[in-house]
Each structure stands twice: as C-alpha cells, then as structure tokens.
Amino acid sequence: MDNVLELSQLWDIIRKRFLLIVALVIVFAGVAFGIAQFAIAPKYSSSTQLLVNRKQDANNTGAQFNNQQADVQIINTYKDLITNPVILDDVVDNLTKDQRVLVKKAQPAQYETQPDGTRIRTRRAQSAEYKTEKAQYANLTADEVKQMISVTNQQNSQVFAVNVKSTNAKKSAVIANEIASVFKDKVVKLMSISNVTIVSEAQANKEPVSPNKKLITLAGAVLGAVVAFGYGLVRELTDKTLKNIDYLTEDLDLTDLGIINYIGKVKTAKELAASHHNYNDDENGDTSKRSRRRV
C-alpha cells in the first residue's frame, strides 16, 4: 500500500491514540513546568531612565530643534558608551571595592572685621568628613555586567532606558542605578555634555521576568501531543495489515468471492473421538451409581 493518509485516517489516528495523547500531554506539561519551576533560575529586571541634552540658546529656535534631532540620533552612541569598559570598569570598581563616601563637606573658617579694621576669626575651618562603605559584591566583572545590560529608547525620544537583568532583584536595581550614576559623570568629559538627568531610578522588581512558566508548560504540552501523534502516525504507516476489502478489489483488481466470518479453532477427529469417549464414560459412571442406589 502507498504510505498516503487521508484526513479521515488522520482523525482515526487521533481517535485511536486519544488516551495516549492525553497522557503524554499531561506528562510533558508536568515535566516542563518542573523544569521551569526548579531547574531554571528566575531572572529579575530593573530599569533606570536618563535624559541627555545640551545647553541651548533660548533665542534660537532653529538651533534648539537641530540640537534635539542630533541628541535623538546620538542615542546609539550613548548605548555603545554604556556597554563600553570606560563605563563598566568604573561600575564594577564601585560595586566590588570599599568606597570612601563624603558625609560632610569641608567648611572654611569665618572671620569678622572689627571697627578698628582688625579681622577676628569667629569659626574655625572644618575638614570634610568621610565614611567607608563596604563593597556590595565580591565577584563581579565588566563582562558579566555587559551581559546583563540592554539599552532601549522610543523612536524620536531623547529619553533612553538602561535595563539590567540578573538572578537577584536588588542586584539588578543596584547595577542599573550605578550605571546611570557613572554615565552621568563620564559623559560630561567624554562628549562635553553637561545636561544629564536621571529621570527615574531603578527599583527592585520582585516579579521575575523569566522563565515564562506558562509558555514553557504550554510548549511541553504541545510537544507531548506531537510525540503521541507521531507515534500513532508511524504505527499507521508501518502497519501492513488490510483495513478493508477496497484495497483488494480496487487496487489489486481481485474479485470479491464473499466474506467468511471468524471461526475459532476446529477440533480434529481424534479430539472429537476422545471427547465423545470421555462423555460415554461419564454417562456409564452415573448409570452405575443410580443402579447401586436402587438395590
């Protein structure tokens, strides 16, 4: 027979293997959910938004428009800078090394001039006060941070977002905010741009963005259905038994002489004789028993 299936035959495969399909759908969906739940580490995303523009002449409207368009077009340059070691190396240093943080600025001494012209110091100068903050992370490299970063922006917008994705919600927010802070300081020197505004700081997002458990579970269910149907299809294509008489009469041009129903195993003459002999013995035994009871 040709290995060609009609739609009705495909439906028959589904009908015959329905329980198998349902079973494999449940099994594969359960395995996929288990993998998504326990084997794949969840990842959390945090974003910070920045606005970068140049100081503009309020009296020159044309120059303002041109500068805005230039700022929009230069967003790609900002993206390259953010993922460049010139930014990321400082980010990693700030997060993996102890930092000396200014707590109080230095105050100069204050003087008062007396009526006779002499100056009297009224307050002594005060030196700046610093504190040391411990490193937030021990093991972090610029390459690892680069893999976490993605930079996006809307079309014709001067605002762009720095997105950081990692396995820890707080870590994502900390890295995103540190990138924004370092970029704000560096871009002034690198591109002579002084107007850098952090529009919104990153917040720790407690809801993971991956893995998508529903999608993975659905994919597992679909895979289970495909495997079950494929098994049934292979069995159907490799089955060489005759399903109906049409193949004999139409494809092979044989004459239909009739249909013989299924007949079970026929006993041989020897088996029939043996069974008849056993029957006679049983009858004779019963007769002798009845005779003895009459006596």
Domain boundaries, the chain: 9-38+212-256, 43-97+137-207, 98-134
Calpha distance 51→193 (Å, rounded) = 11
For the entire predicted model, the pTM comes to 0.66
Q: What are phi and psi of 260, to 5 degrees?
A: -105, 125
For the chain, 295 residues long, give each residue's pLDDT as a single digit of tens: 455 567 877 888 889 899 999 999 999 999 999 999 999 999 999 999 998 776 555 555 555 555 666 666 778 888 889 999 999 999 999 999 988 888 888 888 888 888 887 888 888 888 888 888 888 888 899 999 999 999 988 877 788 999 999 999 999 999 999 999 999 988 888 877 777 889 999 999 999 999 999 999 999 999 999 999 999 989 888 877 776 777 777 777 777 777 777 666 766 777 777 776 665 555 555 555 444 444 4
In a 3-state reduction of DSSP, which class is residue 131? strand
Tokens 């326990």 — which residue? Answer: 38
Q: Which residues pair with 161 in a beta bridge?
A: 49, 152
Per-residue pLDDT tens over the stretch 6-36: 787 788 888 989 999 999 999 999 999 999 9
Q: Domain 43-97+137-207 adopts which CATH fold?
A: Alpha-Beta Plaits (3.30.70)
pLDDT digits (tens, 9 = 90+) for 211-235: 999 999 999 999 999 999 999 989 8
In the chain the beta strands, taken as DSSP E runs, fall at 44-53, 99-104, 110-113, 119-123, 129-133, 149-153, 159-166, 195-200
